[in-house]
Amino acid sequence: NKTASEAAVLVDELIPAVKDAACEVVICTPFTDLVTAVAKTKGTNIHVGAENVHFEKSGAFTGEISADMLVDLGVEYVIVGHSERRQYFAETDQTVNKRALAALNAGLKVILCVGESLQQREEGVTEELVRMQTKIALRDVTAEQMANVVIAYEPVWAIGTGKTATAEQANEVCAQIRKVIAGLYDQEAADGITIQYGGSMNAKNADELVAQPDVDGGLIGGAALKAPDFAAIVKAASK
C-alpha cells in the first residue's frame, strides 16, 4: 500500500500520534517508500523496516533487493517469511531461513513470520507446523543473533478475513513458539524474545490480545493504514 507521496502523508500523521509510545514502533513499507520513510522518521521514535529482502548480496537476481541495499538506506528491520510471500511468491521454509540469515548477517533486525492455514488448523497440526517453521527459519542463527529476531505468529486464516484468533488461541501458539526457542537456545532467549500476533489485530481487539502473557506486540496490516487506528494499537501495546 501507498505511493511514496502517500506514505509521506501517513508518516507525518503517525509521528505526533505515536510520539509518547512506551513500546517500540516500526513501520514496514514497500521498497519505493523506504527513502521517504527513513528521511521523515529521522529523530523520531519510529523505526523503519522493509517488507522483504533477497538472500544473496548481489548478482543476477533482477528485481530483487539485498540486505546491504536496505542497510545503506538506513533501514533497521525487515519482515521475512510473511504468509503472503509464502502463498503468492513461492517462498519456502528454506528460502525464509536464507533470507533471515542474510538480513541478520548484514546487521538488520528480522521480523520472522510463522503461521498455519485454516485447513491446517482444522486438521489439528498448528503446533507441529509452527514448531517446524520456526526451527527451519532459525537454522544457523546464533544465540547472539537471536537478540535481533522478533517472531510474528500470523494465522493465515485470520489475515484480512476479519476472523481473529481469540486472545487465548493467539496466546497458546505464542507460548508454543516461546517453548521452541527455549529448546533451540535457552530459557533466557525464550524470555527475551518479542513474539507478536499478526492476524487482523485492530484498534478494537488490541487491548485484549496484548494483555495475554505471551503476546508481546502486534504485526499490523490494514489497521496501520489510518494513523488514529495505528495509534490506538500502539497505545494498547504501551500499557
Where in the sequence numbering do the catalytic residues fall? 82, 154
Is 43 buried (19+), middle (13-18) or exposed (0-12) by CB count in 10 A?
Answer: exposed
Q: Residues 80, 112: contact at Cβ < 8 Å? A: yes
Report the Cα–Cα distance between both ends of the chain, in Å, rounded.
29
Q: In Å, what is the CA distance from 226 to each residue of 1, 2, 59?
A: 12, 12, 38
Q: Residues 44, 26: contact at Cβ < 8 Å? A: no
Q: In Å, what is the CA distance from 139 to each residue of 76, 100, 132, 142?
A: 22, 9, 11, 9
Place of cell 520513510: 37
